[in-house]
Amino acid sequence: MREGRAYALLAENDDEDTHISIDGICEALHVDMKDLREKIRIASRAGLDSVLMSFVEGRTQTTALFEQLLRQVKEFSPVLVILETAADLFAGNENDRGQVRQFLSNICGRIATETGAAVVICAHPSVEGMRSGGGSGGSTAWNNTLRSRLWLRRDVDDHDGEVDPDVRLLELKKANFAQRGTTLTLRWVDGVFVLQGKKGLPLASASQQAREAQEIVAARYDSGIPFSPHPQARGRWLGNWVMETFRKSRKAATRLVDNWVGDGLLVEIRQAHEHRTVLCTPEQAKKSACERGAMKRSAHA
């Protein structure tokens, strides 16, 4: 998947639901809402009729909403289109192979063909699909017509008890151009699912990363080898630690350090005797200021 814009039609979400979800994702990725301008477009349609295809006397019929959707997607030129959920968009019989195939081909397939975007359609599995471990539901055409299928499921034991309520498993059930069976472990942290890191440890959330940064900055400051907030400091730049610890790119590490300083979580102070700026915590900065003030008063006395 190449980087680019994303368009989402969310039939189950209202604007508030969408805002809460996006805000959590932005915090986890350390980006601002304003950074998403002209990069994503979301139609939240909870409570509205979102049918894209209906069937009249056995014949398929696309709706005015679909034509509007197709037109907007073409104008926006995304690389990814998300449609959810199938139950809200498909007004046919989910067990009718012909109707399901018509829907997937003439709605999802048409969007992909005419725009060049990858199309993801979300659907709920049936009770039997969850029980069997296949994650499917309705006609086999839901699986067979698509190029790939992912199933997001709970991590349960043999007695259907959740091993960890905050964990979800994303399993690749079908793939025409990749190996099947791959499973990613996701953990719910501060309002967003994050990829579980190495050795079974979840990747740190935004708040956890900030706390870890404060701890290491405080320790380095007390030890006399403080970090610098500037990349020009090379080995002393805090961004090096961020890249290694949280597996961030240089650009993302730079943004993180700048955000921590801008938000007051870390403080940049100048060490006059060494002609350099260093990082410390707000508590350390306050203590340093008090000590400098005491030294000045002592000198004047």
pLDDT tens-digit profile of 44-78? 999 999 999 999 887 889 999 999 999 999 999 99
Residue 83 lies in a domain: yes
Last residue of a domain, one of 107, 128, 146: 146
Would you say 185 and 167 are in contact if contact means Cβ atoms under 8 Å apart? yes
Q: pTM to 2 decimals?
A: 0.65
Residue 12: pLDDT band with limits 50, 70, 90: very high
Number of structural domains, the chain?
2
Residue 63 lies in a domain: yes
Instruction: Please state the rounded mean pLDDT for residues 151-175.
Output: 84
Residue 274 lies in a domain: yes
Query: CA gyration radius for the chain?
Result: 26
Return the pLDDT at 81.
97
Q: Which amino acid is present at 120?
A: V
In this structure, of 11-25, 108-122, 185-199, 268-282, the range with the lowest mean pLDDT score is: 185-199
Residue 151 lies in a domain: no
Residue 265 lies in a domain: yes
Would you say residue 251 has pLDDT above 90?
Answer: no
> Distance of CA 279 to CAs 46, 219, 226, 290, Å?
47, 11, 6, 17
Residue 292: pLDDT band with limits 50, 70, 90: low
- Residues 222, 224: Cα–Cα separation, whole Å: 5
Last residue of a domain, one of 101, 127, 146: 146
Would you say 9 and 46 are in contact if contact means Cβ atoms under 8 Å apart? no
pLDDT exceeding 70 applies to what percent of the chain?
90
> Count of residues for the chain?
301
Residue 194 lies in a domain: no
Q: Tell me which of 242 and 32 has the higher pLDDT.
A: 242
Q: Are residues 142 and 210 in the same domain?
A: no
Residue ranges making up the domain that contains 212: 206-300
Q: Are residues 11 and 141 in the same domain?
A: yes
CATH of the domain at 74: 3.40.50.300
Task: Give the closest residue to 196 by CA, choosing from 181, 205, 184.
Answer: 184
Q: Tell me which of 137 and 117 has the higher pLDDT.
A: 117
Instruction: Please state the rounded mean pLDDT for residues 139-146.
Output: 89
> Distance of CA 26 to CAs 30, 32, 34, 116, 260, Å?
6, 6, 10, 26, 15
Q: Are residues 139 and 252 in the same domain?
A: no
Q: Are residues 49 and 138 in the same domain?
A: yes
Return the pLDDT at 301.
43
Q: Tell me which of 129 and 72 has the higher pLDDT.
A: 72
Return the pLDDT at 297.
38
Last residue of a domain, one of 95, 118, 146: 146
Instruction: Please state the rounded mean pLDDT for residues 111-116.
Output: 95
Instruction: Please state the rounded mean pLDDT for residues 190-215.
Output: 73
Q: Are residues 109 and 216 in the same domain?
A: no
Residue 198 lies in a domain: no
Would you say residue 158 has pLDDT above 60?
Answer: yes
